[in-house]
Chain A
Amino acid sequence: MAIGIRRLGVVLEDRYLVWRLKQGSRDALCRIYGKYRDDLLRLAVSLSNETTLAEDVVQDVFVAFIGDAPQFRLTGSLKSYLATCVANRVRNANRDRRRREQVGLDEIQSVASESVRPDQWAICSEELERAARAMALLSYEQREVIALRLQGALKFRQIAELQGVPIKTVLSRYRCGLGKLRSLLNGEVIRCDRSEISRSL
């Protein structure tokens, strides 16, 4: 009950902030930015395993959101909306990166290998770096499901719509990915093969 009321309060606050933002309120802009900046950076780091890319993605998402604010219409949770934008942009960035990798244009740096830059926006804690490294070992679909569910607070139904798959597939990706993460973080690596997926269903 208390969680429901808190959630309702968040939704109402978001609607109010979006309404103020559409009227050009700078306070609303700062409030939304401060409210969701950390969550989106965390999500982007978990999805991309690369701090620089995560920073760029979150910055782009905010710029696009603020730029389109006069036409924006909030239908659900603002956090879910922004998290979906981050996931889409990370997916596009990964696709571009794979293309560049094929032609050998750049080297990929992981979160662990990055040194702190002078203009760094997000400095990840050790826990976050470990989690991102473990997530990087999952398939991208599993990573996306876990990150969007646990960090983006999306419902499985919304993730299924985003990925364009049935909800059962999303659930199996979630369970399988979570099991793999547990094994990785406990120091054991197991394979999540087809038989495991069918068992989890």
Chain B
Amino acid sequence: MRSEQDIERSFKQANLQVTIGAERDGRILDELVEVQCKSASPHPALRPASRSWALSLAAVVAVVIVIALLVSRNGPPEPEPAPSRPQIVSRIELATAISLEKAFRQGGIEAVEKQYKETFGAFRADAKTPSVDELLTHLENEITDLKR
């Protein structure tokens, strides 16, 4: 006579054997693997969305590259040159001022006289011959400008 505990125990699988047919078992496992592969692949509805997203991204990148090329070819807008202080316009004046100052420091007014003659003798460009006082005044102005 079986008790209810025996029934419970025997129904808990120990004696209830089930043998598995290998052929169909293999087929079912193959089917499950196939189902797994299908469920693991990305959803088809998402593909067009991602493709369009990639296309729009590529378009944006292309536009940015074109803009960058155009900008680099034309170059960036150059800043306006800062107003510089008035410079000595002619080379004769520059040469005269510098050389006369040097001569005055080295040999006084005589050296300035000598330099004056050499300078105008070398260029021979100016028909008008300024006096020594004019030259000294000009020289002072130049020195003041240089110090500024």
Task: Enumerate chain A interface residues (CB-CB to B < 8 A).
Answer: 21, 24, 26, 29-30, 33, 37-39, 41-42, 45-46, 55, 59, 62-63, 66-70, 119-125, 127-128, 131, 146-147, 150-151, 178-179, 181-182, 185-186
Beta-carbon contacts of B1-26 to A below 8 Å, as 1s and 0s?
11110011011110111111101110
Task: Determine if B125 is an interface residue (Cβ-Cβ < 8 Å).
Answer: no
Are B36 and A24 closer than 8 Å at their CB atoms?
Answer: yes
Q: Which of B88-135 contact A (CB under 8 A)?
A: none
B-side contacts of A125, CB under 8 Å? 15-19
Who on chain A is nearest to B28 by CB? A59
A-side contacts of B32, CB under 8 Å? 29, 33, 62-63, 66
Task: Determine if B39 is an interface residue (Cβ-Cβ < 8 Å).
Answer: yes
Who on chain B is nearest to A175 by CB? B4
Are B17 and A122 closer than 8 Å at their CB atoms?
Answer: no
CA distance A50 to B135 in the complex (A): 130
Task: Determine if B66 is an interface residue (Cβ-Cβ < 8 Å).
Answer: no
Task: Enumerate chain B interface residues (CB-CB to A < 8 A).
Answer: 1-4, 7-8, 10-13, 15-21, 23-25, 28-29, 31-33, 35-36, 38-40
The one of A21, A68, A127, A178 in contact with B15, judged by C-beta atoms closer than 8 angstroms, is A127
Are B39 and A66 closer than 8 Å at their CB atoms?
Answer: yes
Who on chain B is nearest to A125 by CB? B17
Are B7 and A42 closer than 8 Å at their CB atoms?
Answer: no
**Max count, chain B CB within 10 A of own CB: residue among A30, A33, A121, A178:** A121
CA distance A94 to B33 in the complex (A): 29
A-side contacts of B18, CB under 8 Å? 38, 41-42, 45, 122-125, 128
CA distance A24 to B33 in the complex (A): 10
The smallest C-beta distance from B42 to any residue of chain A, in angstroms, reads 10
**Max count, chain B CB within 10 A of own CB: residue among A21, A39, A150:** A150
The smallest C-beta distance from A88 to any residue of chain B, in angstroms, reads 19
A-side contacts of B11, CB under 8 Å? 46, 131, 146-147, 150-151, 181
Are B33 and A39 closer than 8 Å at their CB atoms?
Answer: no
Are A150 and B12 closer than 8 Å at their CB atoms?
Answer: yes
Q: Which 5 A-B residue pairings sit nearest by Cβ, starting from the closest?
A: A125-B17, A128-B16, A150-B11, A123-B19, A24-B40
